[in-house]
Amino acid sequence: MIRVQIYYVTPLATNCSYLVDEATGASAVVDPGAESKALNAQIEQDGGRLTYVLLTHGHYDHICFAGQLAEKYGAKVVTGKHNNIFLSDTHLNGTAGHGLDFTPFSADILLSDGEKFRLGETEITYLYTPGHTSGCGVYLFDDIMIAGDVLFCESCGRTDLPSGDDFQMAQSLKKLKDLDGDYRVIPGHGPLTTLEHERRCNPFMRRL
């Protein structure tokens, strides 16, 4: 089982998740778009055992502190194989357009759709879910879905940014809709929700 804490980072209030495997104490951070002193303090309090920095996609508000955080703790950066180009292309990740200071980096582990890995004793599954960008992905573990900017509470991610695609977004939302069972959903921004609520109430998902 994984314990989850959420920290709000960046002016866009990105949901940055801190994951701790309760059996082993191994930890991971998801989508550190900016530094959080409170998150840093918690990692230190837990012994600094950061194993992974996980990225759902490559926009600046999800990746800008990933390289520094991984380097500080010797953690491995993990993302989908289609997302790696965003970590070095300032046009795709939006840092150039927003005038942000950004040092390009590359992931250590590149995942394919459906690939599984472990944080401590907990298995995590990666699903490739393009649409918001061509590199988007979702992480599933226990009864949690970390959805990035694919699925929001009663909405979904925009598709008008570089590499976004309406058809791919619809396919990805149907892929999530068709998963067995229910999940507590942590979106990239905004309130938490559940997959069953989105099946019933999300206009983008209901029509699929």
Label the pairing between strands 50-54 and 27-30.
parallel
pLDDT by residue (tens digit) across 153-195? 999 999 999 999 999 999 999 999 999 999 999 999 999 999 9
CB-based contacts of 161, cutoff 8 Å, min separation 6: 59, 94, 132, 133
- Residue 109 confidence (pLDDT): 98
pLDDT by residue (tens digit) across 32-77? 999 999 999 999 999 999 999 999 999 999 999 999 999 999 999 9
- Residue 44 confidence (pLDDT): 96
Domain ranges of the chain: 2-206
The domain 2-206 is classified under which CATH number: 2.40.128.640, 3.30.1200.10, 2.40.50.140, 3.60.15.10? 3.60.15.10
Q: Report residue 106's pLDDT band, with 50, 70 and 90 as the boundaries.
A: very high
Model-level pTM? 0.97
